[in-house]
Amino acid sequence: LAFAGKYRGDDSVSFIYFGDGASNQGQVYESFNMAQLWKLPAIYIIENNEYAMGTAIDRASSTTELYMRGASFGIPGEQVDGMDVLAVRDATARAVKRAREGGGPYILEVKTYRYRGHSMSDPAKYRSKEEVDEVKKTRDPIDHIKMLLAAAKVTEDELKAVDNEVKAIVAESVQFAQESPEPDPSELYTDVYVEA
């Protein structure tokens, strides 16, 4: 997609999301090489939640500063607090501006934390309840943004109104999905291949 955007000469930017565990896989580096070689408008977002499946990052990665993984390709990067929505917004805006100006690929390591296991089959017994509780208490992104909104004089009633509006949108979307008919099997290949 990044190559297509550059080829067409539009101002599109491609975002490539993967986690700290996937950052150790070979295809990531093949992609880095191509993106830098062709100066593609590609932003790699590494979601570093500190645990790949069930293994702590320092047990699976020889270097844990993942934003530096593109250094040997000449791809710059930065680490950003993924628990701070404004910090993520600002870092992403800088990366997009750079990509649109022809600067090529960029890596954003978004340091975050997941409170639960990696999937339904993961009881997350590889970390303590105290560790999770400490992160919730000191770094929770929702609590952080609520604090910022309160400092900006946004009232609790205004927050509840936004919350109710979002819940209504979600409920309407769920109802639409549940009431919509299953697609006809003839649609299986629609928009998968392009006739050339």
- Position 132 scores a pLDDT of 92
CA distance 35 to 104: 7
At 193 the pLDDT is 75
User: Cα–Cα distance between 165 and 173 in angstroms, integer?
Assistant: 12
pLDDT of residue 125: 85
Considering 94, 98, 100, 118, which one is annotated as catalytic? 118
Amino acid identity for residue 88 in this structure: V
Q: What was the pLDDT predicted at 192? A: 82
- Predicted pLDDT of residue 194: 67
49: closest CA among 112, 139, 127, 128? Answer: 112
pLDDT value, residue 195 = 67
Q: How far apart are CA 188 and CA 192, in angstroms?
A: 8
Is 8 assigned a catalytic role?
A: no
pLDDT attached to residue 52: 81
Q: Which of 94, 98, 100, 114 is catalytic?
A: 114
Give me the pLDDT at residue 157, please.
95
Nearest-angstrom CA–CA distance, 3 and 40? 6
pLDDT of residue 89: 97
Q: What is the pLDDT of residue 121?
A: 84
With respect to CATH, is domain 2-126 assigned 3.40.50.970?
yes
**Residues of the chain under the 70 pLDDT cut:** 194-196
Predicted TM-score (pTM) of this structure: 0.82
Q: At what angle do helices 141-151 and 85-100 cross, to 10 degrees?
A: 90
118 a catalytic residue: yes
Question: For the chain, what are the domain ranges?
Answer: 2-126, 140-180
